[in-house]
Amino acid sequence: MNRRIWLLTRMGINKVRGKRVLALVLALVVLYALVFHTSEIELTDRAAQLKEMAKSIKSLNSHSDLWHGRQACRHPNFDVNSPEIMKFVKYEPPMDCKGEKDWVEIKGSRALITQEARRKHGDIECSFTDLIRTNDFATQVGLTTKTHTEYSLESSDFVRVDCVGESGKRWSNIMAGARYDQDIFDRTGWDTLPKGSTKMNVLMFGFDSISRLTFSRKLPKSFEYLTKELGTIILQGYNIVGDGTPQALIPILTGKTELELPDTRRRMGHKATFVNAYPFVWNEYKDAGYVTGYMEDTPSVGIFTYRLKGFDAQPTDHYMRPFYVDAESNYYDKFSKYCLGSVPRHKVMLDYMKHIFRVYKDRPKFVFGFHGEISHDDYNLVGAADDDLREWLEWFKTSGNWMTPSSSL
């Protein structure tokens, strides 16, 4: 009798549990349909999203301190060296790019076979093959020139270099400089700027996913030079306006959010436009007579190419994506991690910006660079670039480029 009662009770419990599980599953299915399916519909209706955002902002503002004469956004004052944070922060030494020093070095638009390589390997013949952009996802090779001395960049900023010494020893790499382009020289100049304009070069450079406090912790030498030697103004109240790199950079570069601009999402197929449709600020600088440049690493997850359709026409006078597309596919695996030959990859980008300033020293320049490889996935690794970044900043000041006639970083 007791066993029958136990069995019936057990069956009843199982039935109740079964009903609960079934109800939970049904609830999850309904929730999925409501959240994901609805959001999919909303994501294709940008006007509806903007309307909903405006409604939400209006609702928040109705209760905001702004309406009561007080500061609504109160900036937090965090301790840079808080023990809760510092226990996760560790020192990263400078990059050690093992192996032989590069046989060729770039200075502006000139690629020169080094004297050190000659002393070591005797007479050297190098083949320089121009790398040409096909589109944002492919490159092609141009003409090849052989020389025993130097090569001038004219058709492209980027070259594949293959060298052989007297002993038969070989060396190869991909390299970046700023080609000499007469058309750019003819179009640019300080005298073309609108009357009354502030005559300054504009140089913007950033490491992805690095906050102001992380910058000061992980790049202390550079931070000190910026604040004490260059008198940099720190925008302590700056905040990103969206979640993700595109959501943060698109407003900086266009003055608008992605939703306010033409739809460039790749998944929209033929309905998507190329990112060239955006009103990028570098276009305004170009129209005013500036040389323009845009560089970004990590091409497989590019800001304007991972989720968005990318650029049709090259967006700026000097554009580094073709270099990284080819380097990532054909050269990264040949060298030490985070290196291209004997040079750290972050320094390749820093040097490229210097090349542009060298070649166009007497021309107004707008250059925007963004590096993510050593910062996006690891907040400690970026510290390895501190010495190189400080030297880079020092070069701009001591070389005279910082004051030609004035600059903004």
The C-alpha angle 298, 140, 292, rounded to 5 degrees, equals 60
Q: Distance (Å, rounded) from C-alpha 193 to C-alpha 277?
A: 24
Q: Distance (Å, rounded) from C-alpha 321 to C-alpha 294?
A: 9
Task: Determine the pLDDT at residue 31.
Answer: 54
Under-50 pLDDT residues of the chain: 2-13, 16, 34, 37-42, 404-409
Task: Determine the pLDDT at residue 68.
Answer: 65
Task: Determine the pLDDT at residue 76.
Answer: 83
Reported as half-sphere exposure (CB side, CA atoms, 13 A), residue 123 has a value of 3
The residue to which tokens 């900043």 are assigned: 393
Structure tokens at 257: 């959010």
Per-domain boundaries in the chain: 104-176, 189-408
Q: Distance (Å, rounded) from C-alpha 30 to C-alpha 254?
A: 39
Q: φ, ψ for residue 160 (rounded to 5)?
A: -90, 130
* Structural contact between residues 405 and 362, judged by C-beta atoms closer than 8 angstroms: no
